[in-house]
């Protein structure tokens, strides 16, 4: 790890760890007044679904952040600000997750899914702005230009895919969440593997 970006990466790792840990706080131990424990646990399925989906998303974002900074060798004030904007989005994830969990299966589930997806559209934009800035300012390791180009191609479709999920939430929440799962898998794949499949 290069000294110039070491503190950025360490701070970012801490923020990712906090955000992913906060997700579990939305899953509550059922009150005995809710009846038999098995039934009460099963009724919390929206919370489990939202937790696992957001856990996957934050985990994949952390993986991609690590990939980015394995290429970024230099830092400046603008890069720090853009990284903070990305972390702003990451640390906000527990809130739309809680909203989605509380509204799945109700008349408000469409609104909750729209809100949830809108947050990830913004995060995807922040990811792209950070990466594009690092590329344009030549802050990358020049010996890694081939893999950097692969990352650029994979990230370029990110905001559009999240917009598709957002639009799908207006039509069918289940389909939107299903595509969300597929996208988490897609962005977890190494860019080199995606390139080979293309």
Domain count, the chain: 1
pLDDT confidence of residue 175: 95
In angstroms, the CA 92 to CA 22 distance is 10
Q: ∠ CA 90-95-97 to the nearest 5 degrees?
A: 90
Instruction: Classify 105 in phi/psi space as left (phi over 0), alpha (psi -120 to 50) or beta.
Output: left
pTM for the model stands at 0.88
pLDDT at 193: 66
pLDDT average per 10 residues of sequence, the chain (198 residues):
79 96 89 90 92 93 94 94 96 94 93 96 95 94 86 89 95 94 87 59
Q: For position 144, what pLDDT does the model report?
A: 85
Structural domain span for residue 54:
3-197
Q: What share of the chain is helix, strand, coil (3-state, %, to 5)?
A: 85, 0, 15
29 three-state secondary structure: coil
How far is 198 from 44, CA to CA, in rounded Å? 40
Coil, strand or helix at 5: helix
Read off the tokens for 165: 């999920």
User: Does an H or E element contain 104, and which?
Assistant: none
Phi and psi torsions of 72, nearest 5°: -80, 125
What pLDDT is attached to residue 21?
Answer: 94
């Amino acid at each position: 790890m290069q000294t110039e970006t070491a503190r950025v990466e360490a701070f970012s790792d801490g923020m990712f760890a906090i955000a992913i840990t906060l997700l579990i706080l939305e899953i509550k131990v059922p009150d005995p007044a809710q009846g038999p424990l098995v039934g009460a646990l099963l009724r919390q399925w929206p919370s489990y679904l939202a937790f696992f989906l957001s856990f996957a998303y934050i985990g994949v974002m952390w993986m991609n952040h690590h990939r980015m900074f394995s290429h970024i060798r230099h830092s400046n004030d603008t890069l720090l600000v853009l990284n903070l904007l990305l972390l702003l989005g990451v640390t906000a994830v527990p809130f739309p997750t809680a909203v989605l969990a509380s509204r799945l299966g109700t008349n408000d589930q469409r609104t909750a899914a729209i809100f949830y997806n809108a947050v990830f559209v913004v995060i995807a934009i922040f990811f792209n702005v950070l990466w594009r800035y690092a590329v344009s300012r030549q802050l990358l390791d020049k010996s890694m230009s081939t893999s950097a180009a692969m990352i650029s191609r994979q990230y370029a479709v990110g905001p559009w895919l999240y917009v598709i999920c957002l639009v799908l939430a207006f039509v069918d929440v289940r389909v939107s969440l299903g595509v969300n799962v597929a996208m988490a898998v897609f962005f977890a794949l190494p860019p080199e593997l995606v390139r080979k499949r293309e």
